[in-house]
Structure formats: structure tokens, C-alpha cells
Structure 1
Amino acid sequence: MPRPRSLTPDRIASAALAVIDRDGLAGFTMRAVAAELSMSAMALYRYVDDREELERLIVERVLGGIDVTPPDPRLPWVERITILVQRMRTVVAAHPAVASLVPVHRHRSHAVLRWSEAVLGLLTEGGLAGERRVVALRGLLSYLLGAIQLEHLGPLTGPGTAALAELPSDRFPYLAETARSARQVGPDAEFDGGLALLLRGLTAP
């Protein structure tokens, strides 16, 4: 029996995303999404099979906004990769709780596939192939998604860093000093600095 068409996948994904943005993944349930759409949970199952399908819709809804237009070819390949990574960061960071869903559903996301293909082309241009290219792509994705979650869940300006800065220096001298310095680092400087270190490693012989 065909599913009714009164609700589009995009509208369902938008409602689910509103729940996640407001209540986090802990509050993301089929019942909560159904309530956001002013319908029963049973009625929602007429449109999506299960939570996994709903998660895929959310990932595609968010990452569909990534601009995968090739950066200026006159730029070095490392700078072009930086641009592509920054574009994904901008899109995912607008809905940081979704970052943990991307690794699970990336293989079925057309947006992630297009982004990965663009990055792999640049890695190839930079001379990376085989296993090294595999590790490079996964390293970039891991850094990108991990950094977004760290910024969201444990920002350097948050109470966790403040608590580390107060650790006794006789027992944790490096940790306490680093935490005090960390409070002066903005989120962009943190992300850009870490990405630069990673890309520098990729260019090493």
C-alpha cells in the first residue's frame, strides 16, 4: 500500500531537526517528532519505517546544504581541502547534535558522497593514493566531526576547562597550564589550528 503524500520527507526531516536542536539527541524520539508534526506516533510510521530511516532523512537534510563547488583551482590543493572542510563545518555546526549521526549514515548520504569525492580528488592531486588516501579521508572526517562535538559539548570557555585550570600544579602542571591557555583560544582558532596540523601531516613525505 503506498504511503500518503500529505507529508514530504523534507518536512518530516525539518520537524525531527527542530526536536534535536531543541532537546538534543536524548529527546529525539518518534513520539517527539510526531508531536512536532501534530500527529500520533503511529501515524508517523506511515511515512517512515523506523528511527534509522528518520536519522538518514535528518543527515541528508542538514548535509544537503554543503557547497561542493570546486574551489579555485589556482589555489594549492591543501587550501582547497581546507575550504571544503570549512564548508562542511559551517553546515554541521549549525546543528551540532547531528554530528554524531553522520558517521553512521554517511555511506547513504548523497551529500557526504559528493563531498568525499571532491576531497578524494584533491588528495589524489596531492599525491596520496591507496591506504594513505583512505587514512587521510577518514582522518579529515574524524577531525571535523569530533571537533564540532567537542566545541558543542565541551567548549574551551566552558566550566570543564575552568575546572582543569584550577587543578593543583604540583600534580598536573602541564594540564593546568594548558587549560589556562585554552581559555584564550577561540573556537575558530581551535578548529583552524587543528586542521592545519592534520593537513601538514598529510603533506609530509
Structure 2
Amino acid sequence: MPRPRSLSPARIAAAALAVIDRDGLAGLSMRAVAKELGMSTMALYRYVRDREELEGLVLELALEEVDPTPPPSGSWDARVEAMALRIRDVLGAHPEIVPLTLTHRHSSPGLLRWSETVAGILATGGLRGADRVVALRALLAYLIGAIQMERLGPLSGAGTDVIAALPRSEYPYMADTARHAGAIGPDEEFRRGLQAVLRGLGAS
């Protein structure tokens, strides 16, 4: 296959994201992306070192849509919530890339910019030192877990119906919890879970 005259990182990232959206993160490979671009695998290696670099390009392409500017007003927790919703909106559209936020959390400029903004907001809420470390990591853990749960195992669905049908003599609380789960939409579930985390951070 002929080598394209101009192949930008953004174009490579878009092709890789298309592969992930279609085939899942496990389907990402140099060969698959090269095929998406209509070129040979060896030609792609002239632009990208390996799959790890592909992952980084994909994550940055998605996070370009996340505004890192701090919300101009509001309480510290309302501002953190606004920042969390920005991440959810972007990653929720491409749930297969969510694990990349873990593996590239120390090298992703987009995620570092978001984290810097949130850390600054936490500081205005009175969190310092180790407390801010724990708070930021707790928020990231909630965000990543909640987005994956929402896309891969929402409260409502067949799995919940199975739990609701469990014998109440053995699983009274799980069965009752599952029975109520169907009435909670994904937006409410995410916001209420986030608010519970924020209440527990201990900022003032």
C-alpha cells in the first residue's frame, strides 16, 4: 500500500478510536489501525512507535473535548461536580477507552490538566496535603468505576432482574435493593453517587 503524503497524529488517533468503538479495546492493534487508514502495518510504524503510543493518542483525542477551565462560581463541591460531568460526557461516549485513563494517568496531558483543575478546587475547599491526595484519587476511582458500571453493568437490566428474583430468605437486602434499582436512571445514579463521595471528602 502507498504511504499517505500526510498522516497527522489526530488522523491516526481518529482511526484508532474508530477501531476501539467498533471492536473494543482488545481489538486495537497496529495492524487494525493500519487497515483502517488504508496503509500497511509497516508504514504505520513510521508514524507511531507501538500500541502504547496509539493508546495515548486516542486518549488525548477524546480528552481534547474536556474543558479544563475551572467553573467560574459556585461552592467547591458544585464546581468539582461540574468537572466530573465533563469527563463523564466525553468518556461515556467512548466507554471502551475508560481503562486507558488508568494506564496513562501519569502521562496524559489532558487528564493531568483536568486533575490540576480539580486539585485546585479541592484546595479552595480546604483540603491540603495527604487529604487532597486521597480526595483526588477517590474522585478518579469513582469516576472511572461509575462510567464503566453505567455502560457495562447498569443498575437496571437483566442482571438486576436476576438479583431481584433471588430468594428473599437468603438475600433479603440484595433482592430489595435490586427491586428499587430499576427506578433509578443513570444520571441520578451518577450524581447521587458523586455527591456521596463529595460529602465524605471532609472539605470545609
TM-score normalised to the size of structure 1?
Answer: 0.94
Aligned to 1:107: 106
Question: Which shows bigger deviation, 176-185 or 154-163?
Answer: 154-163
Unaligned runs of 5+ in 2: none
Contact 1:9 1:57 (8 Å CA) reproduced: yes
> Which portions of structure 1, spanning 4 or more consecutive aligned residues, are displaced by more than 6 angstroms?
none
Q: Is the 8 A contact 2:19 2:28 kept in 1?
A: yes
What residue number does 2:50 align with?
A: 50
* CA distance, structure 1, for counterparts of residue 181 and residue 145 of structure 2: 17
- Displacement of 1:204 in angstroms is 6.2
How do 1:21-40 residues align onto structure 2 when only pairs under 5 Å count? 21-40=21-40
Contact 2:19 2:32 survives alignment (8 Å): yes
1:179 is matched with which residue? 178
Match of 1:193 in 2: 192
Q: C-alpha offsets along residues 27-50 of structure 1, whole Å, 9 cap, x if unaligned?
A: 222221111111122221111111
CA RMSD in angstroms, aligned pairs only: 1.6
Structure 1 counterpart of 2:178, one-letter code: A
Provide the rounded CA distance (Å) in 2 between the counterparts of 1:12 and 1:93. 21
Q: Deviations over 1:134-181 (max 9, x none)?
A: 010011011001100111111122221111111111111111111111
Q: How much does 1:18 deviate?
A: 0.6
Structure 1 residue 10, shift from structure 2 partner: 0.4
Residue by residue over 1:77-135, the C-alpha shift from the partner in whole angstroms, topping out at 9 and shown as x without a partner, is: 11111101111111111111111111111222111111111111111111111111001
Once residues 28 and 165 of structure 1 are traced to their aligned partners in structure 2, the CA distance between those partners, rounded to angstroms, is 37
Unaligned runs of 5+ in 1: none
Report the counterpart of residue 82 of structure 1 in structure 2: 81
Query: Counterpart amino acid of 2:82?
Result: I
1:4 deviates by 7.9
Structure 2: how far apart are the matches of 1:62 and 1:5? 25
Residue 166 to residue 125, structure 1, CA distance change in 2 (3 Å)? same
1:108 alignment partner, SS class: coil
Taking structure 2 as the reference length, what is the TM-score of the superposition? 0.94
Q: Show the counterpart of 1:66.
A: 66
